[in-house]
Amino acid sequence: MSTGGSLPLTLRVAGRRVVVVGGGHVATRRTLSLVEAGARVVVVSPAVSDSLASSIGRGDVEWIRRTYAPGDLAGAWLVQTATHSPVDDLVAADAEAAQIWCLKGGDPDHATAWAPAVAQVEDVMVAISGGGDAKRASALRDGVAAALQSGELPMRHRTHHPAGLVALVGGGPGDPGLLTTRGRRLLAEADVVVVDRLAPHALLAELDSDVEVVDVGKMPDHHPIPQHEINAILIDRARQGKIVVRLKGGDPYVFGRGGEELIACRDAGIPVEVVPGVTSAIAVAASAGIPVTHRGVARGFSVVAAHEEIDRLPRTGAHTLVMLMGVKRLAQTCAELIAGGHDGRTPAAIVERGCTPEQRVTVGTLASLADVAAAAGATSPAITIIGDVVTLSPSWPSG
C-alpha cells in the first residue's frame, strides 16, 4: 500500500452508525474497538464469534443475521469489511458509490480508509500505520507504548497544572535500572525533582534543562534541610501547579519518611501519588547473593534501623536481621545484640554501596563483624545482614 494521497485523521464515531460486514476474528476485534469508541455498530453476518454474540446479547451491537445485501450501508459513516470473500469487494464498491469510507480487511490497497495500530498512555494517543502491514504496525505500536510507559519518550505536559501533584517515588537501591517503570515515567513528566542523597542521581542527567532539581540529601547525623522544610518545598511547588517528584532511595516507606511527606501534602490539599521502590533491605542483600529467606535456612526476616529496640529481635540464625543506617555504631549494635542473647557465632555481613559497580561485601560473625568492617574501612551507605543465610553468599569462605 502506498501512503501517497492519504491524510491521517482521527474520526469521532460516537453515536454514529458504523457497519461491520463479517463475524469472525477481525470483525470481532474491530467491533469491540468501535463499541468502546461509542459507535452504533451494526454487524451483518450469518454467523458471529462467541465474543460478538456476547456483545449482541448485551445490546451493545445490532446484528443483521444474514449475508450482506445492497442497502445495508444506508446511514453509515464508516464500513468495515471482514468476510475475506468476494462479498468484501461488493461492499467496497457500494461504499465507494455512497461516498462512505471503507476499511477493507486484508486488502488495504483497495480500501479508502486504514485503521492504524493505536497506543494510548493516559491522555496521549499515538496511531501508527505500517504501510499496509498490520503486524509491522502492531510491533511499532508496542514499542512506542513501552517507551511512553517507561518515560523514554517525553510525556511531560507543557501547560500549567492548577491542582499540582506530588509523586513520592522510590528510586530503588542504587542501580538506575531498578527504578520502576511508573517511577521513570513520572520523572520524565516532572517540573520539579526533590532528590535524596541515596536516590539514583544518574537519572537526573535525562531531565529537561528547565526542570528544577532540589537536592535535600541527608548525611548520617547531618540533616542540612530538616523534614518540615522538605515538606514545605513539596507543597509550595505543587501549589504553583507543577508536577513534583520526590525521588528517594530505596522505598519511600522503609525508613524513608515517605509517610510524613504523604500526610503533609494531603493535609495541605495536594494530590499525592505513591510509587513504591525496590527496597535496599532486600535488593542489596540479594545482590550480594544473600536471600533474606531460604527454605531450610531462614523462615522470616526483620528490617530495623539498627538503633531501636534491637534487643527485642528474634534470637536465632533462622530469622534474618537486616539493619539499615548503622555503620557508625556497628560495634555497639553487635555488642547489644550479643548482650541481648544473640549467638556471637551467627554469620553476618555488611554490604556497602549495594547494587552499584562499587558494591563490596564483607563477611564475619556477629562477634567479629565490627572489627572486620573497621579493618576494611567500611562506610555508608551500607546494610548489615545477620543470620544463617549469610553463608549462602559467594563471599562466605568455603570449606
Q: Which residues are catalytic?
A: 196, 218
The 10 Å CB-count burial string (b at 16+, else e) for 334-344 is bebbeeeebee
Pull the grid cell for residue 300. 522470616
Q: CB–CB of 300/388 below 8 Å?
A: no
Report residue 208: phi and psi, to 5°.
Answer: -60, 155
3-state SS record for 317-382? CCEEEEEECCCCCHHHHHHHHHHCCCCCCCEEEEEECCCCCCCEEEEEECCCHHHHHHHHCCCCCE
Please state, in angstroms and as integers, the Cα–Cα distance from residue 160 to each residue in 32, 156, 165, 168, 241, following that order. 36, 11, 11, 20, 6
The 10 Å CB-count burial string (b at 16+, else e) for 272-298 is bebbbbbbbbbbbbebbbbbbebeebb
What does the alpha-carbon distance between residue 95 and residue 312 come to, in Å, rounded to a whole number?
79
Q: CB–CB of 250/198 below 8 Å?
A: yes
